[in-house]
């Protein structure tokens, strides 16, 4: 007696004869198991991808080794270099052109000078002479940039301004300025001053920022 199957999971009898229908039924059962396994793998993959916060396809590529070798090891592809938040800092050498306590800049100014016309005007205002002033120092602006800082009008000669560091930080040039001011206990004569400092650096086309820090000079107790 040959017993057939009307459905994959509903036998019509207790005895099964190895026939074409029995083979078909076995294939159907195997297919169902494979489908269940695939669903289980998908659920686990979704859970793992969510846990590690990566896209599902990226997670698959890591598992099967298509992204730099994955868990399988060995790959001719190149890994991306690790990312870093560190920024390269390069010190820039500078030379002092002029520094002093008297100028004709009565308000604070930070200047980047890259041409002769501007340089001539700045030099004229950085001196207190009115007639027959000395010409500005010769500057080759093809290879040099000039930085000038002016503190503006102050009430005594205890104030100073000085460029202390010039650094290339990433795409920017940062100029560190130190401002020295007298403390409350300092006894200094009243004298109107306009401190300034002018330096040259190798030619740059980068964006320049100035950062000032004030240091109070403590003259001690009265």
Over its length of 222 residues, how does the chain's per-residue pLDDT go in tens digits?
Answer: 444 444 455 554 444 454 666 666 777 777 777 878 777 777 776 766 665 555 556 545 544 444 433 333 333 334 444 444 557 899 999 999 999 999 999 999 999 999 999 999 999 988 877 667 789 999 999 999 999 999 999 999 899 999 999 999 999 999 999 999 998 888 888 889 999 999 999 999 999 999 999 999 888 654
Predicted pLDDT of residue 80: 42
Predicted pLDDT of residue 6: 45
Rounded Cα–Cα distance for residues 16 and 36 (Å): 25
Predicted pLDDT of residue 54: 53
Predicted pLDDT of residue 52: 52
DSSP letter at 45 equals: H
Q: Calculate ∠ Cα 187-188-193, nearest 5°.
A: 155
Residue that the structure tokens 């002769």 belong to: 116
Residue that the structure tokens 């004030």 belong to: 214
Half-sphere exposure of 204 (CA within 13 A, CB side): 24
Q: Which run of H or of E encompasses 150?
A: strand 144-150
Predicted pLDDT of residue 127: 83
Predicted pLDDT of residue 78: 41
Predicted pLDDT of residue 195: 96
Rounded Cα–Cα distance for residues 9 and 25 (Å): 8
DSSP class per residue in 71-92? TT---SS-PPPPP-----EEE-
């Amino acid at each position: 007696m040959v017993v057939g199957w009307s459905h994959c999971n509903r036998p019509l009898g207790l005895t099964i004869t190895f026939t074409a229908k029995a083979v078909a039924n076995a294939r159907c059962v195997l297919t169902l198991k494979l489908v269940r396994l695939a669903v289980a793998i998908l659920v686990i993959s979704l859970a793992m991808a969510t846990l590690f916060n990566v896209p599902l396809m990226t997670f698959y590529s890591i598992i099967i080794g298509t992204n730099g070798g994955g868990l399988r090891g060995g790959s001719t592809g190149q890994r991306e270099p690790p990312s870093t938040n560190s920024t390269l800092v390069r010190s820039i050498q500078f030379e002092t052109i002029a520094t002093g306590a008297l100028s004709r800049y009565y308000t604070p100014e930070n200047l980047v000078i890259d041409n002769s016309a501007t340089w001539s005007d700045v030099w004229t205002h950085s001196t207190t002479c009115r007639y027959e002033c000395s010409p500005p120092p010769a500057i080759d602006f093809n290879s040099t940039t000039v930085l000038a800082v002016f503190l503006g009008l102050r009430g005594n000669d205890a104030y100073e301004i000085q460029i202390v560091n010039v650094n290339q930080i990433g795409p920017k040039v940062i100029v560190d300025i130190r401002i020295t001011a007298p403390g409350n206990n300092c006894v200094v004569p009243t004298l109107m001053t306009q401190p300034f400092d002018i330096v040259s650096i190798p030619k740059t086309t980068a964006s320049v920022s100035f950062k000032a820090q004030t240091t109070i000079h403590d003259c001690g107790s009265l």
